């Protein structure tokens, strides 16, 4: 973890949290991971 700059780590965690939020809105256990574009769209709506 030391190789990541604090800002980069924050961006990674924000992206991962947004992806997890999208997963919770979907049914099932398989194939529910959102695409990169879906996560970026969510982040753009909620800066």
Chain segment 17-42, per-residue pLDDT in tens: 999 999 999 988 778 889 999 999 99
State which residues form the domain around 41. 6-45
Residue 39 confidence (pLDDT): 96
Cα 37–44–31 angle (5° rounding)?
30
Q: Considering the entire predicted model, what is its pTM? A: 0.74
Is 20 domain-assigned?
A: yes
Residue 46 confidence (pLDDT): 83
Task: Report d(CA 40, CA 13) in Å as an integer.
Answer: 13
User: How many domains, in total, are found in the chain?
Assistant: 1
DSSP 43: H
Is 1 domain-assigned?
A: no
Two tokens, residue 29 = 């256990």
């Amino acid at each position: 973890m030391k190789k990541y700059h604090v800002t980069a780590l924050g961006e990674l965690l924000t992206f991962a949290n947004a992806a997890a939020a999208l997963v919770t809105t979907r049914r099932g256990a398989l194939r529910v991971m959102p695409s990169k574009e879906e996560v970026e769209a969510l982040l753009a709506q909620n800066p």
